[in-house]
Amino acid sequence: MTQTLAQSGPAPFADPDITAKGETRASVAFDRLQTLWVMTGTLCNIACTNCYIESSPENDRLVYITPDELEPYLDEVGALVPEPIEIGFTGGEPFLNPHMAALAEAALKRGHRVLILTNAMRPMMRPRVQSGLLDLQARYPGQITLRTSLDHYTPEVHDTERGAGGFAATLEGINWLSNNGFLLALAGRQMTDETMAEARAGYAALIAAHGWDIDAANPAQMVIFPEMDEAGSPPEITVDCWGILNKNPADIMCASSRMIIKRRGAKRPSVVACTLLPYDPQFELATTLTESLRPVKLNHKFCAQFCVLGGASCSA
């Protein structure tokens, strides 16, 4: 494994087909559509130090998606998949998008499950947003899950990443969601100095203290992501790595999901392979969902760090 995965040469992750060692780069073929992600926009009410897409109050490189722009993609989903799937909304902070309730309803009225990723802070807690959420919850019970980002189970670590007072504000939002009967999930991080068991135990204690209906042992309800290091040098993934690592490429996120984005100044949205890589042009696949269902070459360090070696997925 060391020999196959080891890096050498001046330019790792430079060639889409060949690694720096001259080996054939791994790719992931499309297998089935389980999740369609919708990037609601990169604007966010906070600027986290570890945000992999640099969301902030100033970053509008990816602009707000509208319901009219989403509908054609939902039409494609209906033609491609006979049963409802998961429609995930991410950002930025989705509740800054003024169309968020209408976007969710566009998916819900077709029978899809909706997953909204949020920091559960002020944008979600505005009375108008709360009213919209409660309305959707009443009309589509059991179809909406709110996954709240909680970088750590301690305020000290969380607030280091997200700003002073962020932990308390997020807990207030989670408590509101819990008290109003929403399906809940959390997204956290495994710190480099702790085991996965320690991370889950820490979140489990926090969940129990607040009485949230979340199973910390369930990876779909308590999603724990590996620590990302943009300055790191992970190994490149070759075709031989699937056997060496005992990994099935069909389990990698881009085998079963795509994401819709709209770039600032673009006339229409486009489809990218991954929620982690919305800016890299080599992962922009097509303007339609159907045309995007082609193999994805794992030519980025996040492919190695997060998906293959980290074993993580943004989907439930």
Task: Count the domains in the chain.
Answer: 1
pLDDT at 5 over 60: no
State pLDDT tens for residues 254-308. Answer: 999 999 999 999 999 999 999 989 999 999 999 999 999 999 999 999 898 889 9
What percent of the chain is predicted at pLDDT more than 90? 84
Determine, yes or no, domain membership for 303: yes
Place of tokens 């998916």: 107
Cα separation, 95 vs 306, whole angstroms: 26
Q: What is the pTM of this model?
A: 0.93
Residues with Cβ within 8 Å of residue 78, at least 6 apart in sequence: 110
| CA distance to 39, 111, 141, per residue, from 20 (Å) | 32, 46, 51
Amino acid at the residue 72: P
Q: Mean pLDDT over residues 180-199, rounded?
A: 93
Residues with Cβ within 8 Å of residue 195, at least 6 apart in sequence: none
pLDDT at 74 over 80: yes
Cα separation, 271 vs 73, whole angstroms: 10
Determine, yes or no, domain membership for 110: yes
Q: Distance between alpha carbon 314 and the CA centroid of its chain, in Å?
A: 4
Determine, yes or no, domain membership for 9: no
pLDDT at 7 over 50: no
Q: Mean pLDDT over residues 46-73, rounded?
A: 94
Determine, yes or no, domain membership for 137: yes
Give the domain range for residue 53: 27-123+131-308
Q: Do the Cβ atoms of 237 and 254 come closer than 8 Å? A: no
Determine, yes or no, domain membership for 135: yes
- pLDDT, residue 305, reads 86
Give the number of residues written for the chain: 316
The confidence band for 176, taking pLDDT boundaries of 50, 70 and 90, is very high
Determine, yes or no, domain membership for 13: no
Residue 209 maps to which CATH number?
3.20.20.70
Determine, yes or no, domain membership for 3: no
pLDDT at 187 over 70: yes
Q: Mean pLDDT over residues 187-197, rounded?
A: 89
- pLDDT, residue 169, reads 97
Q: Distance between alpha carbon 128 and the CA centroid of its chain, in Å?
A: 25
Cα separation, 110 vs 49, whole angstroms: 37
Residues with Cβ within 8 Å of residue 260, at least 6 apart in sequence: 36, 37, 38, 39, 65, 69, 70, 73, 269, 270, 271, 289
The confidence band for 10, taking pLDDT boundaries of 50, 70 and 90, is low
- pLDDT, residue 269, reads 98
pLDDT at 26 over 50: yes
- pLDDT, residue 6, reads 45
Nearest of 45, 37, 1 to residue 236 by alpha carbon: 1
pLDDT at 235 over 60: yes
Determine, yes or no, domain membership for 14: no
State pLDDT tens for residues 116-162. Answer: 999 999 999 999 999 999 999 999 999 999 999 999 999 999 999 89
